[in-house]
Amino acid sequence: MLRIHGLLSSGSEKLPGLNLTIRFIPGKMEEGKEVSRSVQESAAAYKIIQERFGTAVSALDANETMPFFEVLESGSWFEIALYMRDHAKLKFNYMACMSGVDYPAEGKVGIICNFQSLALLNHKLAVKVKCDRDGGCIPSVSRVWHTANWHEREAYDLFGMMFTGHPELKRILCPDDWEGYPLRKDYKVQERYHGIKVPY
């Protein structure tokens, strides 16, 4: 039976040899401000990804509540995901959550994935991927993390973005013949569903 070795104890000591220059998004966080240990770890992980993928990823938003970066070229998302999972210093083996989000002002919908290197390196990082609101596509990462399978179905169900390469992209929470994508901001509830009045 497989066992996971090398469980890290959660200590509060400073990370040795971690002297980072984090690129802050102006207005989000002032330079020189004390950054917590978990954000430092996230920044270190981000740096490895950024070195490999360069301009395909945005700068790190190193906020305290959820440090994240955005994948600017959504086509490279699958490659980034594989790299994040398999790189020896990243090891993001655990996708905690994937939430779909609607950005009506930008005309986009997107996903936000929260990762953690569970029981290995213990660092966390969040990734945003966006695509066009109408007929936009995001590469599916369900082959990288099984968790993504149902989460992508849920995001498709509620927001209507497509996931290319997904094994069975169909609705999961709403009925198969439901019209519209309920969590979009401009969603109008259908009048009737199989002769049943919907809004009440």
Binding site for another protein (CB under 8 A): 1-4, 7, 10, 63, 65-66, 68, 93-97, 99-102, 112, 114, 118-119, 122, 126, 145-147, 149-151, 158, 171-175, 182-183
Do the strands 94-103 and 108-116 form a parallel or antiparallel pair, or are they unpaired? Answer: antiparallel
Report in angstroms the alpha-carbon separations of 137 from 31, 33, 101, 180.
36, 38, 14, 17
> Based on CB atoms, which residue is closest to another protein, 75 or 86?
86
Least separation in angstroms between residue 185's CB and another protein is 8
> Based on CB atoms, which residue is closest to another protein, 18 or 96?
96
> Based on CB atoms, which residue is closest to another protein, 76 or 114?
114
* Tokens representing residue 32 in the block: 């020189």
Least separation in angstroms between residue 131's CB and another protein is 17
End-to-end CA distance of the chain: 53
161: which residues sit within 8 A by CB, 6+ positions away?
100, 109, 110, 111, 131, 136, 137, 138, 155
> Based on CB atoms, which residue is closest to another protein, 77 or 92?
92
Least separation in angstroms between residue 19's CB and another protein is 25
Cα Rg, the chain, nearest whole Å: 19
Least separation in angstroms between residue 51's CB and another protein is 25
